[in-house]
Amino acid sequence: MTALEGVDGASGKRGPKVIMGFDGSEPSVEALRWAARQADSTGSLLEVIMAWEWPASYGWSFSLPESYSPDDEAQSVLDVAAERLRGDHPRLKVQTTAIEGRPGPTLVAASHDADLLVVGSRGHGSFSGMLLGSVSQYCVAHAACPVVVYRDQKPHPD
């Protein structure tokens, strides 16, 4: 899907847009399902964004295959998630974006062109028992649109 599919061709104006920060974790998957229901019920474009960073080695050396591409890996995860969404919500307009960058600032930058930003309460980088992750805290404090921090209803071991 191209970015222009969220724009009304007759008026040139952008339609409603929901941004969802996705990292592939189970809380993120649950937040994505909520964001899809919200976007579908409001006729909004759903843009699912996965930001990635090169892992820091802190003096350790590790090798990756020359063919390894974190961008391709992230896009592959997004493609699978988007395909599932389209199966559950056939009318939903879904756009996926894999981008190199820190998740919080990347999502905040995207929020300037959105009506709603949805993030999970905690993802891959959280400590057990933490109620709100650093990315969700950053988004709540800095986003240019309303933010929903989706907290799944499953009990978490503490």
Q: Look at the chain and report how many structural domains it folds into.
A: 1
The token duo for 150 is: 């989706």
In a domain, 99, yes or no: yes
The answer as to whether 96 is a domain residue is: yes
Torsion of CA 131, 42, 11, 118, to 10 degrees: 10
Say how far apart CA 42 and CA 2 lie, in whole Å: 20
Range of the domain at 38: 15-52+69-127
pLDDT confidence tier of residue 134, bands split at 50, 70 and 90: confident
Higher pLDDT: 114 or 123? It is 114
Q: Which residue has the higher pLDDT, 12 or 49?
A: 49
Residue 149 covered by a domain: no
Structural domain contains residue 79: yes
How many other C-beta atoms are found inside a 10 Å radius of the C-beta of residue 26? Answer: 14
- Alpha-carbon 133 to chain mean position: 14
Q: Is residue 156 part of a domain?
A: no
CATH number for the domain that contains residue 113: 3.40.50.620
In a domain, 43, yes or no: yes
Residue 147 lies in a domain: no
Least-confidence region, from 10-14, 58-62, 111-115, 145-149: 10-14
Query: Is 9 part of any domain?
Result: no
Asked if residue 132 has pLDDT above 60, the reply is no
